[in-house]
Amino acid sequence: SAILRAHPEQDEARFDAARAASKMGELAADQNAAKYYSEALAQFDLLSQHAGHGDIQVERALGSVAAKLGAIELDRGNLLPALSDFSRALQIAEGIAAEEGANPSEETRLALAAANAQVGEVLLRNGARSEGVAKLKKALGIYRELGNGERAKELEVELHRQ
């Protein structure tokens, strides 16, 4: 973007550009959404490296964009890229949870649950049944702890089909 070309060293400009690309991804159709999310992921990734993984806002945004890219890849039937993106979102959520200590925030726990469920669903589709079921059970446990009965019930149905 023009902002970054003018001031590539400014983290605030990079963050704004990444957020704008992510927002464009939300508004765009599938093909363009992936392009915008990829740009946002690249910018958030640079910010994360620059911040030394210390900025939770950047890390949350990075995980969110990775999960959105994973969903696009899954919709396209591209299981390995989807698994890679969802695994990255899970790794980021686990890192944030570790930073937050013994009592991670509800936002972090929701991100952990969602990422575990997404990884589990891709693993199941890819034939890795036991690994997929383990991830779904982990997500189910977190959703139950958070009192998210609707999502817990959906996962219970999915697990009963396995």
* 41-99 tens-digit pLDDT: 888 888 888 766 568 898 999 999 999 999 999 999 999 999 999 999 999 999 999 99
pLDDT of residue 159: 93
> CA dihedral defined by 47, 50, 52, 57, rounded to 10 degrees?
-20
- Is pLDDT above 70 for 8? no
pLDDT of residue 4: 47
Mean pLDDT over 129-147 rounds to: 97
**Phi, psi at 28, each rounded to 5°:** -90, 165
> CA dihedral defined by 72, 74, 78, 82, rounded to 10 degrees?
90
| pLDDT tens per residue across span 18-42 | 888 888 888 887 678 989 998 988 8
CB-based burial of residue 157 (10 Å sphere; 0-12 exposed, 13-18 middle, 19+ buried)?
exposed
Least confident of 15-19, 47-51, 155-159: 47-51
